[in-house]
Amino acid sequence: MAYQNRNNRSNYNDVEVEVGQQFKMTIKKMGINGEGIGFYEHKLVFVTGAFTDEKVVAEVTKVYPNYIKAKAVKINRVSEDRVEPRDSYAGTVGGFELESLSYPAQLRFKRDLIKQALEKFQPQGYKNFKIRSTMGMEDPYEYRNKAQFPVRMKDGKVIAGLFKEGTHDLVDLPECSVQYPATMKVMRKIVEFIQELEIPVFDESNNSGIIKTVIVRAALNTDDVQVVFVTNTPKFVKKGFMLKKIMMELPEVTSVMQNINPGDSPLIWGDKTLHLAGKDTIVEKIKGLSFELSARAFLQLNSIMLPRLYEVAISALELTGNEKIVDAYSGVGTIGLPLAKHAEEIRGMDIIPEAVEDANHNAIINKIRNAYYEVGKAEDLLPEWLEEGFKPDAIIVDPPRTGLDDKLIDAILKSAPEKFVYVSCNPSTMAADLVQLTRKYKVDFIQPIDMMPQTPRCEAVVKFTRK
């Protein structure tokens, strides 16, 4: 097989493929990013904008040694699951990849993602795993509790929205059907204020300007709203005028913060966060408990489905009230603290100091005295606790998309708590982790939960029993 990357051409089985070339193909299934998958002359092709069983005209966008990336430019046979999206920019920016797919089909797809991941990594006994139907929303819109929009100037107008896939071309989002309405109302008013006050926004061409990103987070159950201005410099010109406008025209905003992130960094957040007005935190209520959230604290984007996710995870632990529990990747304690009344002791950890501070504070304000959180990596702290003689009866993990660190898996297998639940946000890394975990644990069930409708992202709760 000859491959000429520098010319963006591929020669595979004597068939030459190049960027811009078009060909007809049938979509066989869908991949982890919501793209259609098929074959052209025996070569694997990933096609954005195409669904299972559709016949499309695909246009090559990039060529790799073993596969091709393409986009659907014409659909000759339309899937019966294809629907009209609510958002005009669906398919242009990220976060709406499946908005043209009916919701029942989205739920089936997410269950299939887990099956695909298990078939790829083949953990012990995977063919007998009970994979439940995906738990979905009654209304799969207006669920995102946080809008995190870059702000730029375009044709003399301040815009805020999301970048086109793979570019730095910002698409203005005056409306967004998946955002909680309060976040969009506040976001559009803030953009209006920036325009009126002529506050310089970030210019990537020379790293100038002040406001880079506006973040709005709204609490579903308390009506608190927080605004964070991510700025290129500590200096925030006309800050006083901005705060006055917020106070006068957006009384629902209870917290205003500034995060400083200088230069053209790919990261949204900088290290320093300043308090500008109102409270330092906002309060969300989950399963009867109050949680104070600082600006950088992680909370699942879907507050509507969050209690259902936790109900599955908590019931899967089958607690008696006598267990010592490790709450790994704990965030602000939203999983661990509701467990406290069912346990003897909760020990949790997270790498973000503000999250750990919030978790310990949340334990105090909820009068929980048997929960303690520490700053550090789960893969470092759990082995330390085991060395000190702490032996957990149960563990619940809610790792990032990268999955569990090998060192943490070793510590889990060494301590081998009887009860173990894994909350996953990435079927691929979950399936990879199961290869090692199934050496000592049997998988009782996997429950997919749709926390992010209209996207290919899928959460899942795995219940284990020690062999």
Asked if 126 and 165 count as a contact pair (C-beta separation under 8 A), the reply is no
For helices 181-197 and 239-249, the axis angle rounded to 10 degrees is 140
Q: Please report the beta strands in 210-344, taking only residues with DSSP state E, as ranges in sequence order.
A: 211-218, 225-231, 253-260, 272-278, 282-286, 289-293, 324-328
Q: Is 176 a catalytic residue?
A: no
pLDDT tens digits along 267-311 = 999 999 999 999 999 999 998 999 999 999 889 999 999 999 999
Predicted local confidence at residue 288, as pLDDT = 92
Predicted local confidence at residue 3, as pLDDT = 36
Q: Is the model more confident about 5 or about 226?
A: 226
3-state class (DSSP) for residue 357: helix
Asked if 93 and 165 count as a contact pair (C-beta separation under 8 A), the reply is yes
**Separation in Å, CA 400 to CA 77, 429, 459:** 38, 10, 11
In the predicted structure, residue 5 carries a pLDDT above the cut 60: no
For helices 103-121 and 427-437, the axis angle rounded to 10 degrees is 40
Asked if 419 and 342 count as a contact pair (C-beta separation under 8 A), the reply is no
Catalytic position from the list 425, 434, 443, 461: 425
Predicted local confidence at residue 40, as pLDDT = 95
Asked if 100 and 80 count as a contact pair (C-beta separation under 8 A), the reply is no
Predicted local confidence at residue 9, as pLDDT = 52
The overall average pLDDT reported for the chain is 94
- Please state the separation of Cα 256 from the chain's center in Å: 24
Average pLDDT of span 343-367: 95
| Amino acid letter, residue 282 | I
Asked if 224 and 255 count as a contact pair (C-beta separation under 8 A), the reply is yes
